[in-house]
Amino acid sequence: MKPSIPKGTRDFSPMEMAKRNYIFDTIKQVYQLYGFQQIETPAMETLGTLMGKYGEEGDKLLFKVLNSGDYLSKVTPEELAERNSLRLAAKLCEKGLRYDLTVPFARYVVMHREELQLPFKRYQMQPVWRADRPQKGRYREFWQFDGDIVGSDSLLNEVELMQIVDTVFSRFGVRVQIKINNRKILTGIAEVIGAAEKIVDITVAIDKLDKIGLDNVNQELREDGLSDEQIEKLQPIISLEGTNDEKLNTIAEVLATSETGLKGVEETRFILDTLKTLGLKNEIQLDLTLARGLNYYTGAIFEVKALDVQIGSITGGGRYDNLTGIFGMPGISGVGISFGVDRIFDVLNALDCYPKDATNGTQLLFINFGEKETAYCLPSVAKAREAGIHTEIFPDSTKMKKQMSYANAKQIPFVALAGENEMAADKLTLKNMETGEQSLITIDEIIKTILA
């Protein structure tokens, strides 16, 4: 039987891993620059930790892990005959694979509250699993890369996260647009027009303005059950234009009677005004159609779009007021972002943004002509590695052509060889595989040439 891997999972080749490590390392360095610390949590959590935290749909998408040993011992013949898979799963499984990094993080904060220094700034990069139907761009096993600041209500945290996003994508050489909105503004809009339960319908309809035009947006709102009076009140919001400041002024007028809405305007204004003084390299835009995870976020919400590649959001996040409430410890507010590593990988591939040294493997290969020559080369191999040069010696003394083909296939830029002449001169021949140039030089000169 031919081996295979489960649907919705992937192998990564050495070249793909080099690229992924470049992404991880870049984001990691930026987080560390801002004082974030790394944590890891187990791949498995108890089902008590995971169940009921992602809604009914999320519970269905949890991968459950069978208890070890005789897992049928607690099940009666009647329960087996009943074939109620949910009830059986509850008896057969006590653990599940984590679905995201946020719930394990909340559990971590509650369990380690005594030793944590608040505000706690953490980043975490690990795989997560969802029993979803695999399709293009959607996997059952994929990586998340989250950064959160918990235990502080200050809006400086939001400002800092936007700086992190800006720094990361500047380092990648990718032009992005950072979109920002505020849950309180959306709540305010719903309050003012008296349609709290319609806020998702409203944002979905407004989002189609560019595609279907104002009349059709209004028609869609009518079909969603909004009255003509409510739609009339929404007009300044639907056709919101101008700079971020002008948009905020218009929103403030519309939300004049909503305390919550005005609080959202004030928070957004602080974030945008502070960022103006910090010289972001990418544009930040107020976008009212942004309505991420409405039941989860309570303040600022963000999303990042790549400008030069057609792809969905590549980073997102926001402020939540009660991260740890699900575990009986209310009142710990936080704000976080999640980098979409798989999509960033696709964007960098599409734009060919990887620096050459990020994907470089071996830099120097020593050819193997036999035992005597190898014994002569090995001290030089060690010296090259000490100097930080990625170095290999071909393990078998096979035909030179085969060894050179190996160097070409692995795109190794330099090859060193030693035969009778080189050994007599106490030197090596260095061949530049790109130019074909050869020179008889010492190992110290080889090191200088490669590191130059």
If one counts every other C-beta atom within 10 angstroms of the C-beta of residue 438, the result is 12
Mean local confidence (pLDDT), 280-286:
96
Listed residue (310, 318, 451) closest to 391, CA to CA: 451
φ, ψ dihedrals at 43, nearest 5°: -60, -35
DSSP state of 132: P
φ, ψ dihedrals at 110, nearest 5°: -65, -45
- Asked if 333 and 322 count as a contact pair (C-beta separation under 8 A), the reply is yes
CATH superfamily of 360-451: Anticodon-binding domain (3.40.50.800)
**Residue 175 annotated in ligand binding:** no
Question: Please, which pLDDT band fits residue 271 given cuts at 50, 70 and 90?
Answer: very high
Peptide bond preceding 134: is omega within 30 degrees of 0, i.e. cis?
no
Instruction: Please count the CA atoms within 13 angstroms of the CA of 154 that sit on its side-chain side.
Output: 12
Whether pLDDT at 250 is above 60:
yes
Mean local confidence (pLDDT), 268-287:
96
**Residue 248 annotated in ligand binding:** no
Mean local confidence (pLDDT), 100-121:
94
**Residue 376 annotated in ligand binding:** no
Domain 14-40+99-351, second-level architecture: 2-Layer Sandwich (3.30)
* Percentage of the chain modeled with pLDDT above 90: 70
Q: How far apart are CA 359 and CA 362, in angstroms?
A: 10
Give, in order, the Cα–Cα distances in Å from 393 to each of 28, 34, 163, 386, 410.
33, 41, 45, 15, 13
Read off the amino acid at residue 302: F
Domains of the chain by residue range? 14-40+99-351, 44-97, 360-451
- Identify the three-state secondary structure at position 292: coil
pLDDT of residue 293: 58
Asked which of 118-127, 197-206, 225-234, 372-381 is least confident by mean pLDDT, the reply is 197-206
Model confidence pLDDT, tens digit, residues 251-266: 999 999 999 999 999 9
Asked which of 19-28, 75-84, 116-125 is least confident by mean pLDDT, the reply is 75-84
What is the pTM for the complete model shown? 0.88
Residue with tokens 């319908």: 201
Mean local confidence (pLDDT), 443-452:
96
Q: Which residues contact 64 (CB under 8 A, 6 or more apart)?
A: 47, 89, 92, 93, 95, 96
φ, ψ dihedrals at 183, nearest 5°: -55, -35
**Residue 101 annotated in ligand binding:** yes
Listed residue (104, 76, 128) closest to 340, CA to CA: 128
- Asked if 144 and 336 count as a contact pair (C-beta separation under 8 A), the reply is no
Model confidence pLDDT, tens digit, residues 310-353: 988 899 999 998 888 888 888 899 999 999 999 999 999 999 99
Whether pLDDT at 69 is above 90:
no
Whether pLDDT at 282 is above 60:
yes
User: What is the four-CA torsion angle of 270, 256, 319, 59, rounded to 10 degrees?
Assistant: -160
Model confidence pLDDT, tens digit, residues 391-426: 999 999 999 999 999 999 999 999 999 999 999 999
- For the chain, the first-to-last Cα distance in angstroms comes to 51
Task: Give exposure, 386-405, as e/b (b: 16+ Cβ within 10 Å).
Answer: ebebebbbbeeeeeeeebbe
**Residue 83 annotated in ligand binding:** no
- Asked if 160 and 179 count as a contact pair (C-beta separation under 8 A), the reply is no
Q: How far apart are CA 84 and CA 348, in angstroms?
A: 47
If one counts every other C-beta atom within 10 angstroms of the C-beta of residue 154, the result is 12
Read off the amino acid at residue 126: Q
Whether pLDDT at 89 is above 70:
yes
**Residue 132 annotated in ligand binding:** no
Q: Give the H/E segment covering residue 168.
A: helix 156-172
Model confidence pLDDT, tens digit, residues 143-187: 999 999 999 999 999 999 999 999 999 999 999 999 999 999 999
Asked which of 38-42, 354-358, 429-433 is least confident by mean pLDDT, the reply is 354-358
Between 432 and 193, the more confident residue is 432
pLDDT of residue 28: 97
**Residue 148 annotated in ligand binding:** yes
**Residue 296 annotated in ligand binding:** yes
Select, from the ranges 50-64, 146-160, 203-217, the one with the highest average predicted confidence (pLDDT): 146-160
Sheet holding 120-129, edge to edge: 37-38, 120-129, 141-150, 334-339, 315-320, 300-306, 176-182, 283-286
**Residue 292 annotated in ligand binding:** yes
- Residue-averaged pLDDT of the chain: 92
